Amino acid sequence: AQSVTQPDIHITVSEGASLELRCNYSYGATPYLFWYVQSPGQGLQLLLKYFSGDTLVQGIKGFEAEFKRSQSSFNLRKPSVHWSDAAEYFCAVGALTSGTYKYIFGTGTRLKVLA
Amino acid sequence: GAVVSQHPSRVICKSGTSVKIECRSLDFQATTMFWYRQFPKQSLMLMATSNEGSKATYEQGVEKDKFLINHASLTLSTLTVTSAHPEDSSFYICSARTQGVRELFFGEGSRLTVL
């Protein structure tokens, strides 16, 4: 079965600093990969996705992510963090399981931004 | 992008009663819908996957008789929490995808509080 690991539960960065959120997955083939952001009490907003092709994908709000097959990773990056980026970030994997696509989420990383 | 609407966004009920949460795809045909449960400050846990016109497939550990899922049309799925108890209090999120599209679209979530 597929699984998703986000090693960092909490990350704190200063506004303007760069950010990298880690995501590792376990699956026999290349899954669909997603990053979502969730503000408190809200639903999920898709930041970016990877299905195939160019391993560096650009998303909304200045985020990007790089798929590295050799490391089974899909880390999220942003060169300069804004205070409004403070939220919970979830990495998700979509993969075919018993004939149905399932989408499994990592445990999330809570980002705090210091002024 | 595609829109998924959940209703109600918040519901408070007494212990022992049943609560129904609706998930609608407003501008596309949702061939598959997923129901997730999220505890405070935790990740999304997949509860079940439902394909239109078929019985839902529940994840291990999820009680089928407590969480009734119906996906009778291509635009509507419902989750009924039967005989709710305080431990069922949680944030429930639905998501949907259409055949041939790999991306998931999420509802805004429904917060259930059982007194």
Distance from CA of A17 to the nearest CA of B (A): 25
Q: What is the pLDDT of residue B100?
A: 81
A82 vs B: CB within 8 A: no
Residue A112 contacts residue A86 (beta carbons within 8 Å): yes
A104 vs B: CB within 8 A: yes
Q: What is the pLDDT of residue A63?
A: 97
- B27 φ/ψ angles, rounded to the nearest 5 degrees: -135, 20
Q: What is the pLDDT of residue A105?
A: 92
Confidence of residue A111 (pLDDT cuts 50, 70, 90): very high
pLDDT tens digit string along A80-96?
999 999 999 999 998 88
Segments in chain B below pLDDT 70: 1
Distance from CA of A32 to the nearest CA of B (A): 8
Q: What is the pLDDT of residue B1?
A: 66
B109 vs A: CB within 8 A: yes
DSSP string, chain B: ---EEEE-SEEEE-TT--EEEEEEESSS--SEEEEEEE-TTS-EEEEEEEETTSPPEEPTT--TTTEEEEEEETTEEEEEE-S--GGG-EEEEEEEE-TT----EE---EEEEE-
A98 has a pLDDT exceeding 90 = no
Q: What is the pLDDT of residue A95?
A: 84
Q: What is the pLDDT of residue A41?
A: 77
Name which of A51, A103, A107 is nearest B104 (Cβ-Cβ): A103
Name chain B contacts of A100, Cβ cutoff 8 Å.
32, 49, 51, 57
Name chain A contacts of B44, Cβ cutoff 8 Å.
44, 90, 105
Q: What is the pLDDT of residue A96?
A: 81
pLDDT tens digit string along A12-48?
999 999 999 999 998 877 789 999 999 887 888 999 9
Q: What is the pLDDT of residue B45?
A: 93
The structure tokens 């699956």 sit at: A27
